[in-house]
């Protein structure tokens, strides 16, 4: 089954549920994951124990929400169970799930995940390991009710604009991911004003070093492609996920031109939050020894341990601000993808009453959020902020 959509994306859709005193499963009435109103703000969060396992028995009294550092009144907290299925890898040669007797429908889709491959900024080695990990991921870890697709920042090979339940189609797309020899610097189009914010391009395009501008432009292009994916999957119910496979970008190193990259990141985070999208990031470089860079590593950012860490700043930021996490300094990329799938087993919906001045005159202010869990030994990941504009 193929569904035509505006862009290429991978989507594995899950349902959501209204607040209540018990856990819910997909298939009930779909509600927004991140809802902003003057009387109630609703957000999603994942709570894990020391072993990384989901904790599912918490209630409103177990959470604390801080908005701009001020405690808020938590009125509801319910765990939404997506799946009891734990995606650990099967034995080599075994298939995870049998072929369904009929083609699934969109409403049958259980999880939502979109893979964005930042091939414009990847070395030959990173492309190889990314393609290998995604092939195994598609073959072993997707289920028949997982709706999927892949996109690349280069837009190369004229991929079909489709979502599909079929692994063979996904495998063919992954097989066409290749090293980009002729990638060109990104240029802004009419539809990218949300990124540039009406910037003075003569000033932006005149950095001290041309290579820094190229890196900045390609990082911005990656954000634009992620925004396209968000626009596509936001119409699907429940909590969606986007996996960005990228060699990263340094916010500080590429943000010398008036803070434009940081502003673009914050706008993208707000867009993802309102669409119920959580972003994960995977660095395909794995565990790198900066003293011995690979022969195909093209950018100077890869030649020192400090620059390597700085290049991962953007990955940590975009993932952490949306409630996800970044997989870095890990050679087994497939294991990182499995960890991401494990994180999709469920989430909490938390509701709190915001301060009266949250949506005041300064409605374009960015509100910082912090969610805490009171029970000792537990960790919580949740969205970290939003622009003070109520959801339409």
Per-residue pLDDT of 304-316, as tens digits, reads 677 778 889 989 9
Helix (H) or strand (E) holding 63: strand 63-67
Reply yes or no on whether the pLDDT at 208 is more than 80.
no
- The Cβ-side half-sphere exposure at 110, using a 13 Å CA radius, reads 15
Mean pLDDT of the chain: 77
Q: Picking from 105-109, 146-150, 321-325, which range would have the lowest pLDDT averaged per residue?
A: 105-109
Enter the tokens of residue 293: 């860079």
Burial of 182 (0-12, 13-18, 19+ CB in 10 A): exposed
pLDDT (tens digit per residue) in 41-76:
999 999 999 999 999 999 999 999 999 999 999 999
- Flag whether pLDDT at 376 surpasses 80: yes
**Which pair of structure tokens corresponds to residue 100?**
């369904």
- List the domain boundaries for the chain: 1-392
Question: In angstroms, what is the C-alpha Rg of the chain?
Answer: 21
Residue bearing the bigger pLDDT, 263 or 385: 385
Spatial contact of 177 and 117, defined as CB atoms under 8 Å apart: yes
Q: What is the pTM of this model?
A: 0.80
Q: What is residue 120's predicted lDDT score, i.e. its pLDDT?
A: 85
Q: What's the pLDDT score for residue 183?
A: 52
Residues making up the chain, counted from first to last: 392
Q: Supply the pLDDT for residue 89.
A: 40
Contact predicate 15/276, CB 8 Å: no
* Residue 97: band (very low, low, confident or very high) from pLDDT cuts 50, 70, 90: very low
First to last CA, the chain: 33
- CA dist., res. 117 & res. 86, Å (int): 25
Query: Which pLDDT value is given to residue 133?
Result: 97
CATH number of 1-392: 3.40.50.410
How many percent of the chain have pLDDT more than 90? 36
* Residue 195 confidence (pLDDT) above 80: no
């Amino acid at each position: 089954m193929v569904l035509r959509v505006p862009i290429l994306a991978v989507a594995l859709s899950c349902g959501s549920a209204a607040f209540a005193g018990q856990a819910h499963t997909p298939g009930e009435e779909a509600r927004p994951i991140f809802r902003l109103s003057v009387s109630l703000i609703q957000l999603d969060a994942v709570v894990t124990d020391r072993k990384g396992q989901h904790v599912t028995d918490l209630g409103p009294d177990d959470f604390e929400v801080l908005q701009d550092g001020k405690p808020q009144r938590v009125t509801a907290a319910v765990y939404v169970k997506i799946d009891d299925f734990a995606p650990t890898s099967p034995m080599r040669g075994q298939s995870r799930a049998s072929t369904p007797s009929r083609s699934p429908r969109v409403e049958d889709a259980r999880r939502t995940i979109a893979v964005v491959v930042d091939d414009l900024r990847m070395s030959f080695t990173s492309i190889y390991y990314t393609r290998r990990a995604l092939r195994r991921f598609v073959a072993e870890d997707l289920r028949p009710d997982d709706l999927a697709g892949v996109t690349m920042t280069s837009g190369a090979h004229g991929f079909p604009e489709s979502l599909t339940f079929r692994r063979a189609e996904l495998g063919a797309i992954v097989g066409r991911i290749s090293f980009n020899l002729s990638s060109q610097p990104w240029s802004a189009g009419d539809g990218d004003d949300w990124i540039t914010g009406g910037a003075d391009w003569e000033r932006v395009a005149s950095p001290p070093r041309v290579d820094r501008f190229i890196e900045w432009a390609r990082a911005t292009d990656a954000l634009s492609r992620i925004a396209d994916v968000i626009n596509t999957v936001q119409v699907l119910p429940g909590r969606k996920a986007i996996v960005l496979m990228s060699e990263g970008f340094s916010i500080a190193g590429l943000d010398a031109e008036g803070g434009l990259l940081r502003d673009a990141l914050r706008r993208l985070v707000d867009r993802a939050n309102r669409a119920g999208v959580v972003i994960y990031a995977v660095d395909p470089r794995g565990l790198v020894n900066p003293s011995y860079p690979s022969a195909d590593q093209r950018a100077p950012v890869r030649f020192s341990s400090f620059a390597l860490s700085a290049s991962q700043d953007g990955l940590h930021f975009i993932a952490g601000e949306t409630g996800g996490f970044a997989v870095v300094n890990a050679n087994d990329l497939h294991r990182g993808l499995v960890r991401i799938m494990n994180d999709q087993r469920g989430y909490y919906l938390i509701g709190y009453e915001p301060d009266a001045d949250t949506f005041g005159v300064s409605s374009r202010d960015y509100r910082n959020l912090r969610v805490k869990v009171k029970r000792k030994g537990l960790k919580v990941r949740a969205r970290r902020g939003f622009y003070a504009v109520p959801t339409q």
